[in-house]
């Protein structure tokens, strides 16, 4: 890992921990943990999931696939501060056909990737 990036990440993490321990009303740092949703599609239809509420046309509005280029822009913006990145929010990340490229790109930036699945 680039030594400057390493120092930035550890200093940022230290500021986050300090703000949490001191219970400050604001945090003087960037987040160290990021959630990214590579796919809003899901192979389940859980009744309590907000992704399937409403009729089929409403469901189509919230479903989508993140493009690799968009993911790369996000990673590039947070790479100096991100310790970990979870590739999951509501959808099934492995339904995105570029998920392995996304994981590889984040790992190449020395970001620990957590790829859960439904």
Domain-located, residue 26:
no
Please give the order of strands across the beta sheet that includes 33-35: 33-35, 84-86, 112-114
Domain-located, residue 103:
yes
Domain-located, residue 83:
yes
Q: Show the domain range for 104.
A: 32-114
For 19, counting Cβ atoms within 10 Å of its Cβ (0-12 exposed, 13-18 middle, 19+ buried), the class is middle
Number of domains in the chain: 1
Domain-located, residue 72:
yes
Domain-located, residue 46:
yes
Mode of pairing for the β-strands spanning 112-114 and 33-35: unpaired
- Say what the pTM is: 0.80
| pLDDT at site 70 | 93
Domain-located, residue 11:
no
| pLDDT at site 109 | 95
Domain-located, residue 23:
no
Domain-located, residue 5:
no
From first to last of its 118 residues, the chain has per-residue pLDDT tens of: 789 999 999 999 999 999 999 999 988 899 999 999 898 887 777 777 665 444 444 444 445 889 999 999 999 999 999 999 999 877 888 989 999 999 999 999 999 998 777 6
């Amino acid at each position: 890992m680039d030594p400057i990036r390493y120092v930035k990440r550890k200093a940022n993490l230290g500021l986050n921990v300090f703000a949490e321990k001191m219970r400050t009303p604001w945090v003087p740092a960037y987040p160290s943990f990021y959630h990214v949703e590579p796919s809003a599609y899901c192979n389940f239809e859980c009744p309590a999931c907000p992704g399937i509420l409403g009729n089929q046309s409403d469901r189509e509005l919230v479903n989508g696939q993140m493009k690799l280029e968009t993911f790369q822009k996000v990673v590039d913006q947070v790479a100096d501060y991100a310790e970990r990145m979870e590739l999951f929010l509501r959808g099934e990340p492995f339904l995105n056909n570029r998920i392995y490229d996304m994981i590889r790109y984040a790992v190449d930036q020395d970001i620990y990737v957590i790829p859960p699945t439904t």
